[in-house]
């Protein structure tokens, strides 16, 4: 009789506890989803503290990495062509000579710019030269119809365009347009630049240089030669600009490659 009473009391004590356990399971599964059911079952077997269960913190939203953007196959083909061109350009490049000793100008060359600047001081004057890209001529063009033999010969030569500006402090400047050939310097134009002249004014540019008196033309050629504009300088500049053009082209190709690869 006493034994039956003890058994009934034990059963009545365990029933509320079992109900609490089952109620806790259902509540957790409802909030976190069935995907975590296994984790709940595993935890309830091994961890119990003050009638509550400790469940490991697991994100409700599994991480999914975004697929990387794939470069189009046409871009890969373009890259191969660019890389081949860079290889050919670097193989064919021959480093030019350094600035010769006694060169009268300070040379400024910035990668990515077409022109090269030269400056020097001469008896209170500033001589500034802007050297433009060299024009390479192969000499294979047919000029049989050209009646002017001298002009025909120049047409078959490589040329180097230059702007020479000679200034004095606080005064006007002389500006020469020049074309340098292998061993000859041709003055194409001559003008006087007044610093006080505004942009909306039209200055008198003077006559064409080849229309000036012959002695005056010779005197200006000598004037420039004394200030460093002579064949020994322009011939070096011609070779320098050929090498610069090659370097600029190679660098341009590398910039293209970087853009396509990005």
CB within 8 Å of 84: residues ≥ 6 apart = none
- What per-residue confidence (pLDDT) applies to 7? 42
**Closest C-alpha to 192, from 210, 178, 204, 209:** 204
Distance (Å, whole) CA 133 – CA 116: 9
**To which residue do tokens 């050629």 refer?**
221
Tokens of 261: 């690869």
- Strand boundaries in 12-134, DSSP class E: 106-108, 116-122, 125-131
**Closest C-alpha to 233, from 193, 196, 178, 191:** 178
Q: Beginning with the edge strand found earlier in the chain, give each strand of the sheet holding 125-131 in spatial order.
A: 106-108, 116-122, 125-131, 160-168, 173-180, 185-193
> Could you tell me the CA-to-CA distances from 197 to 72, 130, 173, 204 in Å, in that order?
56, 22, 12, 11
Side-chain-side CA neighbours of 193 within 13 Å: the count stands at 15
| SS3 label, residue 91 | helix
Parts of the chain with a pLDDT under 50: 1-3, 5-7, 10-56, 58-61, 63-65, 138-142, 144
List phi, psi (to 5°) of 41: -60, -40
The reported pTM is: 0.64
CA dihedral 117, 121, 126, 127 (to 10 degrees): -50
**CATH code for the domain defined by 90-139+146-257:** 3.10.280.10
Distance (Å, whole) CA 177 – CA 41: 92
Every domain of the chain and the residues it spans: 15-64, 90-139+146-257
């Amino acid at each position: 009789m006493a034994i039956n009473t003890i058994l009934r009391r034990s059963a009545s004590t365990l029933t509320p506890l079992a109900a609490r356990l089952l109620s806790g399971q259902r509540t957790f599964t409802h909030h976190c989803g069935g995907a975590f059911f296994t984790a709940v079952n595993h935890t309830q077997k091994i961890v119990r503290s003050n009638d509550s269960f400790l469940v490991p913190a697991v994100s409700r939203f599994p991480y999914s990495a975004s697929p990387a953007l794939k470069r189009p196959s046409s871009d890969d083909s373009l890259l191969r062509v660019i890389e081949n061109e860079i290889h050919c350009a670097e193989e064919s490049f021959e480093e030019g000579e350094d600035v010769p000793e006694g060169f009268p100008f300070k040379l400024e060359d910035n990668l990515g710019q077409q022109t090269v600047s030269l400056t020097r001081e001469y008896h209170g004057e500033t001589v500034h030269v802007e050297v433009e890209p060299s024009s390479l001529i192969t000499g294979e063009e047919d000029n049989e119809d050209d009646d002017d033999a001298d002009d025909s010969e120049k047409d078959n030569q490589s040329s180097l365009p230059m702007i020479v500006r000679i200034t004095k402090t606080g005064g006007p400047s002389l500006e020469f347009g020049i074309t340098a050939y292998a061993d000859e310097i041709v003055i194409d134009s001559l003008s006087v630049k007044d610093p006080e002249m505004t942009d909306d004014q039209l200055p008198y540019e003077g006559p064409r240089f080849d229309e000036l008196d012959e002695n005056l033309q010779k005197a200006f050629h000598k004037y420039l030669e004394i200030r460093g504009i002579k064949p020994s300088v322009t011939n070096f500049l011609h070779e320098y600009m050929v090498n610069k053009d090659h370097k600029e082209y190679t660098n341009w190709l590398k910039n293209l490659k970087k853009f396509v690869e990005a």
